Structure 1
Amino acid sequence: MTGPEPILEVSGLLKHYPLTRGILFKKQVGAVKAVDGVDFTLGRGETLGIVGESGCGKSTLARLLVNLEAPTAGSIRYRGEDITRLSGRALKAVRRNIQMVFQDPYTSLNPRMTVGDIIGEPYEIHPEAAPKGDRRRRVRELLDVVGLNPEYINRYPHQFSGGQRQRIGIARGLALRPEIIVADEPVSALDVSVQAQVINLLATLQAEFGLSYVFIAHDLSIVRHISDRVGVMYLGRIVETGRDAEIYDHPTHPYTQALLSAVPVPDPRAREHRERIILSGDVPSPTDIPSGCRFRTRCWKARERCTLEVPPLAVPEEFRLTRGPAAHDSACHFAEEKRVVPPEGPAASGDEPHTEPA
């Protein structure tokens, strides 16, 4: 079965920050490899979830996708055009179709501007998107779309709660009617109950406007709720990617399995029977990435081959003929399917399901 039409294609994306020494004559002595070879596609109307530990390069990837930073190498193709090579008016036109929702709703809004000015600011930069006399009406419509009272148009950010501020940020992202929204941990600073409201709002807006999302988060349960496909990042690279059911129910990469084993399980019986995987050591520095497989220093499966060879992000050889849920891309020489969290329900605790007599 073929997926949706690709609207964004990322290939060989790198972002290295140089480390220099000296005052007058600076010499590069190394580099922080924040993003170090990322490849993925995003389909029309699809949500791609990106998960991983703090410091793995998720937020840097988000800034690269909206061209807030220039990549060291690689390409980002929007509708077949490499946006990393654009500038001036051409880049401005593309940015209208790729918008971003930032992580912190407290610092992403200008405290000196009213909500109406914040949401309407994109119209000042792209005046062709809305006639000048029609902008206030458009702003009121956007407030209503994201579940806020249009009468709040003259209020300031400090007069809103965290969840309401994030809704304002979403409204600003929708102002130009983009095709793609990059959401960089949009609910991590919110309470759990408010997180659910914002996630449901994003899902509703996607169905209404046909949006495509790159949804970045460190909470795997939230990513599963909203994503069609999931990419797991570790130290600047995607190490496993597949449909949400493939990643969560049939993970094959050891790092993904370790992440899933740390996800809270609401069913006490399932929690008793799950296997908790504790990784040894710390995440290596992005200035000194291990040779071969970059996860090998914390992996219980590591062998000599892992030191010498970089595992490709591809379907493992042992799963290529099965066509089952484990047949998805995984960057591991010794990939093995493993159910980390048992299914919920009576069977999870080993009890036989109750049946009524015939």
Structure 2
Amino acid sequence: MPEPILEVRGLVKHYPLTRGILLRKQIGAVKAVDGVDFHLDRGETLGIVGESGCGKSTVAKMLVNLERPTAGEIRYKGEDITRLSGKALKAVRRNIQMVFQDPYTSLNPRMTVGDIIGEAYDIHPEAAPKGDRRRRVRELLDVVGLNPEYLNRYPHQFSGGQRQRIGIARGLALRPEIIVADEPVSALDVSVQAQVINLLDRLQKEFDLSYVFIAHDLSIVRHISDRVGVMYLGRIVETGTDTEIYDHPTHPYTQALLSAVPVPDPEAREDRERIILAGDVPSPTNIPSGCRFRTRCWKARERCALEVPALAVPAAFRDEGGPAAHDSACHFAEEKRVVPAEGSGGHGGGPG
């Protein structure tokens, strides 16, 4: 098997909680990300889904070095980039770019579109000769479906979908190998979401990109992803191909998420079991012992409070194989079809 282009091992991000003004004392920590492992192959799209507050965006920020991890490794082409600084880190950042969630706040309102996209060439002058940068910006605008003559306009003169296209053009400016897309369509209308997703799909083939696609909308993640990781309270609890996750989920949390996805077929909707989770998501400052999902899980037993389940193929499916034989962090994993076989449909969400 070829080496993954990106590999994450034991990634942790804890934010300290302190008390006092002069003599600050740490009294705890917000465990935003608490031991995440995954890999990304070249040309692949890895979708990461979960409820708000599960740590998805924190993972994204650490991948592009906007946040420094508390522990763990992020390996790009075999090299741990968490240990890099200076010129070495700058060179890696050129190859791992990010598309942000909010197209309204991620663009500087005082800069023209040409300056926003071309700023990448000021930071990395080796990426384009000085006299060639304006032409490059025009080409990028054309690639993302905008009029090249718009380069002298300001962000407030564009719609939300157009602003996100500008953000995508900015991410493409340095010809990266990996793009981390942090909920890139969640702030857009449904019809515009489809246009942006189709654009990302086309750009992946055209530029040979690898995506880490983060979202809470399960139907969009299924449309664009090759593999999916489901996060809950700072950890990935289930991972597999899109077919394995959506048609053969084995973790109770994944099943609850999928049961909340609207289904356009009235007959299928009537036959589907709706899973309502009890209670609220625990605080990341006080994570339950053992399985962190046990306080809301209908399958929880004494073992769940004592033993942390490993993210691995459940013993029940190791011998028989099949689509249910994928990694799931549950002591009592059991396959359960939640979404109709023809697809999830609709505009997804989280469990209510």
Could you say whether these structures have the same fold, taking a TM-score greater than 0.5 normalized by the shorter chain as the test?
yes
Asked if structure 2 preserves the Cα contact closer than 8 Å seen for 1:16 and 1:36, the reply is yes
The structural deviation recorded for 1:341 is 2.1
Q: How does 1:12-91 map to 2 (within 5 A)?
A: 12-91=10-89
| One-letter identity of the residue aligned with 1:54 | S
Deviations 1:65-87 (A, max 9, x none): 00011000000000011000000
The structural deviation recorded for 1:322 is 1.4
Asked if structure 2 preserves the Cα contact closer than 8 Å seen for 1:48 and 1:214, the reply is yes
Deviations 1:313-332 (A, max 9, x none): 00000100112000000000
Aligned to 1:330, what secondary structure does the other structure show?
Answer: coil
Asked if structure 1 preserves the Cα contact closer than 8 Å seen for 2:54 and 2:233, the reply is yes
| One-letter identity of the residue aligned with 2:110 | R
Report the equivalent of 1:340.
338
Separation in 2 of the partners of 1:267 and 1:137?
49
Asked if structure 2 preserves the Cα contact closer than 8 Å seen for 1:21 and 1:29, the reply is yes
Deviations 1:85-140 (A, max 9, x none): 00000000000000000000000000000000001000000000000000000000
The structural deviation recorded for 1:344 is 4.5
Report the equivalent of 2:257.
259
Match of 2:125 among 124, 127, 137: 127
Report the equivalent of 1:229.
227
1:114 aligns with 2:119: no
Superposition CA RMSD, Å = 0.9
| One-letter identity of the residue aligned with 1:188 | S
How many residues align? The count is 343
Of structures 1 and 2, the larger Rg is shown by: 1
The structural deviation recorded for 1:269 is 1.0
Asked if structure 1 preserves the Cα contact closer than 8 Å seen for 2:4 and 2:40, the reply is yes
Asked if structure 2 preserves the Cα contact closer than 8 Å seen for 1:101 and 1:170, the reply is yes
The structural deviation recorded for 1:5 is 4.2
Report the equivalent of 1:272.
270
Deviations 1:181-230 (A, max 9, x none): 00000000000000000000000000001000000000000000000000
Asked if structure 2 preserves the Cα contact closer than 8 Å seen for 1:102 and 1:186, the reply is yes
Report the equivalent of 1:248.
246
The structural deviation recorded for 1:56 is 0.3
Report the equivalent of 1:194.
192
Segments of structure 2 that go 5 or more residues without pairing to the other structure are 344-352
Report the equivalent of 1:290.
288
1:322 aligns with 2:308: no
| One-letter identity of the residue aligned with 2:120 | P
Separation in 1 of the partners of 2:212 and 2:268?
31
The structural deviation recorded for 1:342 is 2.8
| One-letter identity of the residue aligned with 2:48 | I
Aligned to 2:286, what secondary structure does the other structure show?
Answer: coil
Aligned to 2:5, what secondary structure does the other structure show?
Answer: strand
Match of 1:159 among 157, 175, 181: 157
Separation in 2 of the partners of 1:270 and 1:160?
40
Report the equivalent of 1:220.
218
Separation in 1 of the partners of 2:62 and 2:196?
24
Aligned to 2:22, what secondary structure does the other structure show?
Answer: coil
| One-letter identity of the residue aligned with 1:251 | P
Separation in 1 of the partners of 2:339 and 2:162?
34
Separation in 1 of the partners of 2:132 and 2:113?
16
Name the TM-score, length of structure 2 as normaliser: 0.97
Aligned to 1:96, what secondary structure does the other structure show?
Answer: helix
